[in-house]
Structure 1
């Protein structure tokens, strides 16, 4: 007997991960989210985005005590009141976490070797908790360049979210879309790479797009019922 009951399963919710260089417009993507949105800000970038001016749907992390602050958030946040949760940005949380842990050492500056394993376990638990909520989620990270070794021994660099390796793999594996946000140097337009290659990690398991403009990221391109190969946009529902 199968342990998964399709009849009792809730409507699908979507997990997006967007990474890119600082200032490329990742937080501004929240402007395009439909419905009721809550901002879990890990770097205060929301202050520059029009959508959040005067909003009370914001939790700005305490940079001096990020671990304790997020524990409080997990207790107080009610996901049933929202359609979307924005976690912005996880790379900055990683830096704040290590600073807090270093502050516990004798010189308040150096991290212990055990801290690196602790962070991986802690952040995976944090992501797992957030992803257990029955709502859509957008996570942002800064961009990093990482060495990747192929089976033949050749090593190359790949653009990917700036996060420690095991935590990064867990996050990317549990998201429906992983996009690299870039700016067109000729037009100044903001867009996302949604198909990976040897130099960029990206994926899109929601539709067939290989890339899109920033304003179209959260519109899923569904095949038209007429079967003529055209597409029809459908935003993730509540």
Structure 2
């Protein structure tokens, strides 16, 4: 048995998940990652990063078959390109879910509709993908769209909960694999974009990287740096429909 004292632990590579409504600025947030980044563009919104010389972009070699092409792409990155990059980004996992289910439907015998077993297969596929991404030992970022539901607490109080659009049966597992989960919104007071990093009854969030409860969009990757700690309280759920960022 190998035993290591906690004082000997080093800073781990961070897996982050950020989510928000479409068009709010999730893909734009990637430009604030320090170092060289490789972006896997699943939803076709990487054009908002035009001019960012520290970001390389790749896509699935076979978009009609994401179940086969994504694992092959990730293996190729790990075997041949990983030493070149500081960060790996999967943008975005919500669209990946849709693409995989569409593939199952096309290849099935239910008039294009995926079967019940396909949803279970999708869940294992997603978890395997995330674990493989973590095995690269690089800072990793996964983006997701936002979805909501109605939740009733034990005291009978009801909330509208916001969380990443990831299959509910594995959402807790996915959140557990990440060190940070942030919800991107726009402050109704200042109009600035910011991330809520502190969980509440109505928002899924998590921060095991530092003590911040929230931060401005540009400060997300400044672990332990100075940022607006009240951003999470000021930032509401309002959506700027005129914003063309992803």
Number of the residue aligned with 1:208: 211
TM-score (ref. length: structure 2): 0.81
Instruction: Give the gaps of 5 or more residues in structure 1.
Output: 224-238
CA deviations on 1:104-155 (whole Å, 9 max, x unpaired) are 1235421111111111111111111111111101111000113434345655
Are the aligned partners of 2:71 and 2:129 in contact in 1 as well (CA < 8 Å)?
no
Distance 1:48 1:20 in 2: 16
Is 1:85 aligned to 2:84, yes or no?
A: no
> What is the aligned length?
222
Is 1:138 aligned to 2:141, yes or no?
A: yes
Number of the residue aligned with 1:176: 179
Q: How does 1:49-68 map to 2 (within 5 A)?
A: 49-52=49-52, 57-61=56-60, 62-68=62-68
Are the aligned partners of 1:31 and 1:51 in contact in 2 as well (CA < 8 Å)?
no
Number of the residue aligned with 1:35: 35
CA deviations on 1:10-42 (whole Å, 9 max, x unpaired) are 652111110000010000111111111110111
Q: How does 1:1-238 map to 2 (within 5 A)?
A: 1-2=1-2, 11-52=11-52, 57-61=56-60, 62-78=62-78, 79-152=82-155, 155-221=158-224
CA deviations on 1:182-223 (whole Å, 9 max, x unpaired) are 012454311111111111111111112111110000001169
Are the aligned partners of 1:18 and 1:178 in contact in 2 as well (CA < 8 Å)?
yes
Distance 2:199 2:54 in 1: 38
Instruction: Give the gaps of 5 or more residues in structure 2.
Output: 227-246
TM-score (ref. length: structure 1): 0.84
Are the aligned partners of 2:92 and 2:143 in contact in 1 as well (CA < 8 Å)?
yes
**C-alpha displacement of 1:53:** 7.2
> Cα 1:72–1:178, aligned 2, differ >3 Å: closer, same or farther?
same
